[in-house]
C-alpha cells in the first residue's frame, strides 16, 4: 500500500471496477433469483446545471441505503433519472437568453425548444459524470429521462384514463398568471410576500369601498355585502343603483354574499372577478358577468378608457388623481399591510386571470391517499410529515395542469370547434387544431415510480411498489403527495412503503446557501480537495432526517483526517500480515472480536431504523477510538511475541468487518483496502460482501 491515500487515483479506478463487475444492475448479482427485491427510485435530477450540495446529500443517503441492502442480500435496485424540469429549466434558460440580450418572445417555439433541448443534453452528461464521482451505485442501464418516449407514453395513458373518468376537465377558471414568464402557475408555484401599500377608501354611490388596487376597479359593477349586515338592510339583492364611477356613470347591482367580512372596512366591497380569486368565486355563485381589465402582459385594456395601454403600476397614481378630482376618494390609509402573491422564480406580482385550462380534480384522488396515510401504509421519516401531508391533502384544490411554456410534455389534445380529441395523433379528417400548452412538469414526475419501472420488461412486476422514496422535505406537496395520489390511481398500489425526507444543507452559520451570499459549497470542489468519502460521511454524520444540516469545509476536513486514519490503520495491519495464517484466537482476542460484533449488531439496528447519522457516528467512534487507539496499540506487544498469530487473526477480522460497515458511507477507501486484504473466499468486490451478522 502507498504511504498515503490518494483519493483521486483510487476513486476513478474503483468506480470503474464496480461498473465492470456489473453489480449495480441487480440482475447481475450473485444468486439474483433468490434475492428479495429492494428498490429506490432516484428523484430525477434537474438537468439544468451542476450538482449542488442538496444533490450530494440525496446521492449519499440513497447510496447508503442501496449499498446496505445489497450487502444484506437484497436484489438492490437504485434507478437513476434525469428531469427536463419544465418551468425550472425554462426559467434558467430564459435568464441565459436575457444575458445574451435575447428573448424567448422573439423566437419561434420550435427554435426555443431545440435550444433548450441542446442545453439540457449537454447538462445531462455533466450531471451523470458528477453523480458517478459521488460514488452512486445506481443502475445506469435503467436510466430514464422524463422526456423519454416510454415515459411520455405512460403519462398520456394516465391522462386519457383520468379524462375518461371525468377527473380531468377543461375549465375557464381563474389562475395565477406570471406576467414576466407568460404562463399560469399552480398555487405551489407562487409565494406570499408581505407588502405595505396604501389602502384607498372610495365613494361608490351611497357606499364606501376599500381597495389596494384601484387600477382593477374600472369594470366593477357589483357591490357586495353580507346578507346579515344591518347597515345595509335597506338594500335588496339585485337592486340597481346609478352612480358616478371612474370613467363615467354606471349602473351597479347589489349582491349579498356570506363571504364578506363585516368587520373589514365598511363591510361593502365591489368585485373584480377576472382578477381576484375571491371575487371570481362570488361571481360564479351569483352567475355574474366577468370583464377582463388587464391583459396578459400587465397593461390596462380599453375598458380603462384614457388609461388603456398603461402598465398597472404606472396607472395607479394617475387613476387616484382623477378619482380625487372627481371627489370620489374619501380617505387614504398609508401603511396598509397585506400579502400579495408573487412568482416563486422571478418575484413578479402574480396577476390572476381567467383562462381556459386543463384541470385535474383532486378530491377523489386525495381520498384513497388520505386513507392510506391514516392507516400508516406509508411510513414517514421523520414522522411529523404525516400530519403535514394529511392537512394539505384534506384541503386540496383542483390542480391546473396547463403551462404556456414550450419546454415540457405537450398536452395530447386536439380541438375542432367544440369537439375534443384525446391522443397524440388526431383523426384523419382535416381541421383539427393541436393544444399548444404543455403539462406542469410535476404531472409527469408524479408518475415517476411506475413510469420508470414500466420502461423495462418485468421491472414493474418485480420492484413495484418500491421500498423507499427519499427526497427533500421541501417538495412533499409538489412531488410526494402527487406521486401517492397518481400512483394509487394508475396502479391501485401505493408507490412506496417509506418516505424519507431530508432537510436543507446550510452553511456553517446555519444560513441557506445561495450564490448571492457566496456561501455555496460546490460538492465537486470538496470531493476534489478532500475525497468523496470525506464529503459523504460529512453529509450524513450529525444529519437528522428532516432537519437542516450545517456544513462547512472545516467539518469535511475532519472527515478527510478520518480517511487518513483508516488508511494508516489498515496499512499497519497489512504490514503485520506477511506471515498470516488462520489460527484459533486467544480468549483475550476473541473477546475483542465479540465486542466488535456487538457493536456491529447495534449499528445494524440503527441502519434498519434509518438512523444513518447515528450508525455513522458509532462506527466512526469505534474505529478511531477503540480499534486504532486501544486495540491496535495493545496488539503491538502481542505481534512481537508468542501471540502474534492470534493478534493477526483478530486484527484482520475486525478490520475487514469495519470495512464492511463503513462501506455504505465511505465506499471508495473501504473497497480499496478490502482489495488488499488476505481474506479467504474473497468476493470480486466489497459491494457484494455480506453485512456482518
Partner RNA sequence: GGGCGGUUAGCUCAGCUGGUUAGAGCGCCGCAUUUACACUGCGGAGGCCGAGGGUUCGAGUCCUUCACCGCCCACCA
Which chain residues interact with RNA by CB under 7 A?
4, 187-188, 191-192, 209-213, 259-265, 267-269, 276-278, 338-339, 384, 387-388, 391-392, 395, 477, 506, 508-510, 542, 544, 547-550, 554-555, 558, 560-561, 563-565, 568-569, 571-572, 575, 613-614, 617, 621, 624-625, 628-629, 632-633, 636
**Dist CA 491 CA 460 (whole Å):** 10
**Dist CA 556 CA 219 (whole Å):** 62
CB nearer to RNA: give 187 or 528: 187
In angstroms, give the least distance from the CB of 339 to RNA: 6
In angstroms, give the least distance from the CB of 44 to RNA: 21
Our measurement of the distance from residue 93's CA atom to the centroid of its chain's CA atoms, rounded to an integer in Å, reads: 19
CA distances to 118, 206, 285 from 488, in Å: 35, 55, 33
CB nearer to RNA: give 40 or 260: 260
Burial class for 221, CB neighbours closer than 10 Å (0-12, 13-18, 19+)? middle
In angstroms, give the least distance from the CB of 280 to RNA: 10
Q: Which helix (H) or strand (E) holds 459?
A: helix 459-463
**Dist CA 188 CA 87 (whole Å):** 13
CA distances to 39, 41, 76, 432 from 79, in Å: 8, 5, 10, 39
In angstroms, give the least distance from the CB of 24 to RNA: 29
In angstroms, give the least distance from the CB of 48 to RNA: 21
Our measurement of the distance from residue 337's CA atom to the centroid of its chain's CA atoms, rounded to an integer in Å, reads: 32
CB nearer to RNA: give 274 or 464: 274
CB nearer to RNA: give 313 or 575: 575
Residue 508, φ and ψ in degrees, nearest 5: -60, -30
In angstroms, give the least distance from the CB of 270 to RNA: 7
In angstroms, give the least distance from the CB of 190 to RNA: 8
In angstroms, give the least distance from the CB of 267 to RNA: 5
Residue 303, φ and ψ in degrees, nearest 5: -55, -25
CB nearer to RNA: give 38 or 572: 572
In angstroms, give the least distance from the CB of 535 to RNA: 14
Residue 596 DSSP SS3: helix
Burial class for 21, CB neighbours closer than 10 Å (0-12, 13-18, 19+)? middle
CB nearer to RNA: give 36 or 338: 338
* Residues 520, 526, 528: CA angle, nearest 5 degrees: 140
Measured from the Cβ of residue 614, the count of other Cβ atoms closer than 10 Å reads 18
CB nearer to RNA: give 20 or 193: 193
**Cβ atoms of residues 368 and 393 within 8 Å:** no
In angstroms, give the least distance from the CB of 90 to RNA: 21
CB nearer to RNA: give 129 or 339: 339
Nearest to 312 by CA among 217, 218, 215, 199: 215
In angstroms, give the least distance from the CB of 483 to RNA: 17
CB nearer to RNA: give 338 or 601: 338
Q: Please provide the size of the chain in residues.
A: 693
In angstroms, give the least distance from the CB of 351 to RNA: 14
* Residues 505, 508, 511: CA angle, nearest 5 degrees: 60
Nearest to 542 by CA among 530, 523, 527, 558: 558
**Cβ atoms of residues 106 and 115 within 8 Å:** no
CB nearer to RNA: give 4 or 347: 4
CB nearer to RNA: give 117 or 575: 575
**Dist CA 277 CA 42 (whole Å):** 37
CB nearer to RNA: give 199 or 688: 199
- As a 3-state breakdown, the chain gives helix, strand, coil percent values, each rounded to 5, of 45, 20, 35
Got the DSSP string for 597-638?
HHHHHHHHHHHHTT-HHHHHHHHHHIIIIIIIIIIIHHHHHH
In angstroms, give the least distance from the CB of 170 to RNA: 22
In angstroms, give the least distance from the CB of 291 to RNA: 16
Instruction: Convert 93-149 into a string of H (helix), E (strand) and C (coil).
Output: HHHHHHHCCCCHHHCCHHHHHHHHHHHHHHHHHHHHHHHHHCCCCCCHHHCEECCCH
In angstroms, give the least distance from the CB of 119 to RNA: 28
According to DSSP, the β-strands at 190-204 and 419-422 are unpaired
CB nearer to RNA: give 72 or 571: 571
CB nearer to RNA: give 425 or 554: 554
Q: Is 487 left (phi over 0), alpha (psi -120 to 50) or beta?
A: alpha
**Dist CA 261 CA 269 (whole Å):** 10
Measured from the Cβ of residue 248, the count of other Cβ atoms closer than 10 Å reads 8
CB nearer to RNA: give 241 or 262: 262
In angstroms, give the least distance from the CB of 337 to RNA: 9
Q: Which helix (H) or strand (E) holds 433?
A: strand 433-434
> Residue written as cell 385535474?
360
CB nearer to RNA: give 163 or 613: 613
Amino acid at each position: 500500500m502507498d504511504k498515503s491515500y490518494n483519493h483521486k487515483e483510487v476513486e476513478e479506478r474503483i468506480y470503474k471496477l464496480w461498473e465492470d463487475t456489473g453489480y449495480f444492475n441487480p440482475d447481475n448479482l450473485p444468486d439474483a433469483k433468490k434475492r428479495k427485491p429492494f428498490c429506490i427510485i432516484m428523484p430525477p435530477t434537474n438537468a439544468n446545471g451542476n450538482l449542488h450540495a442538496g444533490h450530494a446529500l440525496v446521492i449519499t443517503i440513497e447510496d447508503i441505503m442501496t449499498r446496505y441492502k445489497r450487502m444484506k442480500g437484497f436484489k438492490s435496485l437504485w434507478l437513476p433519472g434525469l428531469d427536463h424540469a419544465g418551468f425550472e429549466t425554462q426559467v434558467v434558460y430564459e435568464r441565459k437568453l436575457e444575458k445574451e440580450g435575447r428573448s424567448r418572445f422573439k423566437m419561434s417555439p420550435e427554435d426555443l425548444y431545440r435550444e433548450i433541448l441542446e442545453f439540457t443534453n449537454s447538462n445531462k452528461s455533466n450531471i451523470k459524470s458528477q453523480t458517478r464521482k459521488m460514488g452512486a451505485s445506481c443502475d445506469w442501464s435503467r436510466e430514464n429521462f422524463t422526456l423519454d418516449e416510454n415515459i411520455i407514453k405512460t403519462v398520456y395513458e394516465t391522462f386519457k384514463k383520468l379524462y375518461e373518468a371525468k377527473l380531468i376537465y377543461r375549465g375557464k377558471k381563474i389562475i395565477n398568471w406570471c406576467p414576466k414568464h407568460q404562463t399560469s402557475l399552480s398555487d405551489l408555484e407562487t409565494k406570499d410576500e408581505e407588502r405595505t401599500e396604501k389602502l384607498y377608501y372610495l365613494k361608490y354611490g351611497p357606499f364606501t369601498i376599500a381597495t389596494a388596487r384601484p387600477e382593477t376597479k374600472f369594470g366593477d359593477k357589483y357591490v357586495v355585502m353580507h346578507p346579515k349586515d344591518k347597515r345595509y338592510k335597506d338594500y335588496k339583492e339585485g337592486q340597481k343603483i346609478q352612480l358616478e364611477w371612474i370613467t363615467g356613470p354606471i349602473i351597479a347591482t347589489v349582491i349579498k354574499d356570506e363571504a364578506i367580512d363585516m368587520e373589514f372596512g365598511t363591510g361593502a366591497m365591489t368585485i373584480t372577478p377576472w382578477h381576484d380569486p375571491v371575487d371570481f368565486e362570488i361571481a360564479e355563485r351569483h352567475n355574474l358577468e366577468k370583464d377582463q381589465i388587464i391583459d396578459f402582459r400587465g397593461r390596462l385594456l380599453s375598458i380603462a378608457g384614457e388609461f388603456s395601454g398603461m402598465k398597472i403600476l404606472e396607472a395607479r397614481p394617475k387613476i387616484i388623481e382623477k378619482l380625487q378630482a372627481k371627489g370620489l376618494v374619501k380617505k387614504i390609509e398609508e401603511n396598509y399591510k397585506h400579502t400579495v402573491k408573487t412568482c416563486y422564480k422571478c418575484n413578479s406580482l402574480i396577476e390572476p386571470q381567467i383562462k381556459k385550462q386543463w384541470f385535474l380534480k383532486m378530491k377523489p384522488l386525495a381520498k384513497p391517499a388520505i386513507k392510506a396515510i391514516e392507516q400508516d401504509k406509508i411510513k414517514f421519516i421523520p414522522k411529523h410529515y404525516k400530519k403535514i401531508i394529511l392537512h394539505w391533502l384534506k384541503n386540496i384544490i383542483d390542480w391546473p395542469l396547463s403551462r404556456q411554456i414550450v419546454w415540457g410534455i405537450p398536452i395530447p389534445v386536439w380541438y375542432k370547434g367544440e369537439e375534443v380529441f384525446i391522443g397524440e395523433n388526431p383523426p384523419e379528417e382535416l381541421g383539427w387544431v393541436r393544444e399548444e400548452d404543455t403539462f406542469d412538469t410535476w404531472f409527469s414526475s408524479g408518475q415517476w415510480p411506475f413510469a420508470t419501472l414500466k420502461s423495462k420488461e418485468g421491472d414493474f412486476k418485480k420492484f413495484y411498489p418500491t421500498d423507499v422514496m427519499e427526497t427533500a422535505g421541501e417538495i412533499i406537496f409538489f412531488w410526494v403527495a402527487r406521486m401517492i395520489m397518481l400512483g394509487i390511481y394508475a396502479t391501485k398500489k401505493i408507490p412506496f412503503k417509506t418516505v424519507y425526507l431530508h432537510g436543507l444543507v446550510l452553511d456553517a452559520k446555519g444560513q441557506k446557501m445561495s450564490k448571492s451570499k457566496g456561501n455555496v459549497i460546490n460538492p465537486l470542489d470538496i470531493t476534489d480537495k478532500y475525497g468523496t468519502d470525506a464529503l459523504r460521511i460529512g453529509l450524513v454524520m450529525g444529519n437528522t432526517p428532516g432537519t437542516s444540516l450545517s456544513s462547512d469545509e472545516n467539518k469535511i476536513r475532519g472527515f478527510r483526517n478520518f480517511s487518513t486514519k483508516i488508511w494508516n490503520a489498515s496499512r499497519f495491519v497489512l504490514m503485520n500480515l506477511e506471515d498470516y495464517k488462520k489460527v484459533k484466537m486467544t480468549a483475550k482476542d476473541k473477546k475483542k472480536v465479540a465486542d466488535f460484533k456487538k457493536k456491529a449488531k447495534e449499528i445494524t439496528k440503527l441502519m434498519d431504523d434509518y438512523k444513518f447519522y447515528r450508525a455513522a457516528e458509532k462506527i466512526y467512534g469505534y474505529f478511531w477510538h477503540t480499534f486504532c487507539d486501544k486495540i491496535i496499540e495493545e496488539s503491538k506487544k502481542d505481534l512481537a511475541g508468542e501471540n502474534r498469530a492470534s493478534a493477526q487473526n483478530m486484527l484482520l477480522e475486525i478490520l475487514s468487518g469495519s470495512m464492511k460497515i463503513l462501506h455504505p458511507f465511505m465506499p471508495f477507501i473501504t473497497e480499496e483496502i478490502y482489495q488488499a486484504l488476505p481474506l479467504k473466499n474473497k468476493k470480486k468486490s466489497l459491494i457484494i460482501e455480506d453485512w456482518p451478522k
